[in-house]
Structure 1
Amino acid sequence: MLTLAITGCQARSQQPPTQVIYRFDDHRYLELKGYDCEGELWYTDTIRGIHTEPVSQFYHIFTHKFMHPSARYIAIPGWGTVMGGFKVSKDYGQTWELGSASMSPGPNEPNGDNAPYYDDVLSVTVINDQGFLQTKHSLYTSSKPFEDPRILPGGPGIPYRLENGKVQVLEAQYPGEAWGMVYMTKLGLEGTTQILKTNWQDLPDHVPEVKNYQGWDHMRCDMDAGKVAKKL
Structure 2
Amino acid sequence: MIKRLLSGLIVMVAVNSQARQLQEPPTQVIYRFDDHRYLELKGWDCEGELWYIDTQRGIRSEPVSQFYRIFTKKFVHPSERYITITGWGAGGFMASKDYGKTWQLVQFSPGENEPNGDNHAPYDDIISFTVVNNQGFLQTKHSLYMSSKPFDDPRVVTGGPGIPYTASDGSVGRLEPGSAGEAWGMVYMTKRALVNSIHQFKSNYQNMPDAVPKVINYTGWDHMRCDMDAGK
TM-score, normalised relative to structure 2: 0.89
CA contact (8 A) 1:161 1:168 kept: yes
Q: 101-110 vs 209-218, which deviates more?
A: 101-110
Question: Contact 1:107/1:187 (CA < 8 Å) preserved in 2?
Answer: no
1:212 alignment partner in structure 2: 217
Q: Structure 1 CA distance, aligned partners of 2:102 and 2:178?
A: 24
In structure 2, distance between residues paired with 1:209 and 1:163: 33
Verify: 1:78 aligned to 2:83, yes or no.
Answer: no
Match of 1:199 among 191, 195, 204: 204
In the TM superposition, 1:219-230 aligns within 5 A as 219-227=224-232
Q: Which amino acid aligns with 2:107?
A: S
Cα deviation, 1:134-163, whole Å, max 9, x if unaligned, reads 001211110000000110111111112356
**1:160 alignment partner, one of 160, 165, 168:** 165
Distance in 1 separating the partners of 2:194 and 2:117: 13
| Post-superposition offset of 1:96 | 1.1
Per the alignment, residue 28 of structure 1 pairs with 37
- Runs (5+) with no aligned partner, structure 2: 1-12
* 1:179 CA displacement: 0.6
CA distance in 2: counterparts of 1:54 and 1:167, whole angstroms: 40
Aligned-pair CA distance for 1:73: 0.1
Shift, 1:107, TM fit: 2.3
Using the TM superposition, give the Cα deviation of residue 108 of structure 1 relative to its aligned residue in structure 2, in angstroms. 1.7
Show the counterpart of 2:99. Answer: 92
CA distance in 2, matches of 1:184, 1:168: 22
| Counterpart Cα distance in 1 of 2:33 and 2:231 | 24
Q: Matched residue of 2:45: which SS?
A: coil
Which residue in the other structure is 1:51 paired with? 60
Structure with larger RCO (C-alpha < 8 A, sep 6+):
1
Residue 127 of structure 1 aligns with an amino acid whose one-letter code is V
Q: Secondary structure at the match of 1:150?
A: helix
1:110 CA drift (Å): 3.1
2: distance between equivalents of 1:154 and 1:107?
Answer: 35
Q: In the TM superposition, what is the alpha-carbon distance from 1:27 to its structure 2 partner?
A: 0.4
Q: 2:134 aligns with which of 118, 126, 129?
A: 129
How far residue 109 of structure 1 moved from its aligned partner, in angstroms, is 1.6
Runs of 4+ in structure 1 over 6 Å off: none
TM-score normalised by L of structure 1: 0.89
- How many residues are treated as equivalent by the alignment? 217
User: Does the alignment pair 1:104 with 2:104?
Assistant: no
Partner of 1:106: helix, strand, or coil? coil
Match for residue 23 of structure 2 among 9, 14, 27: 14
Which deviates more, 59-68 or 105-114? 105-114
Larger helix share, 1 or 2:
2
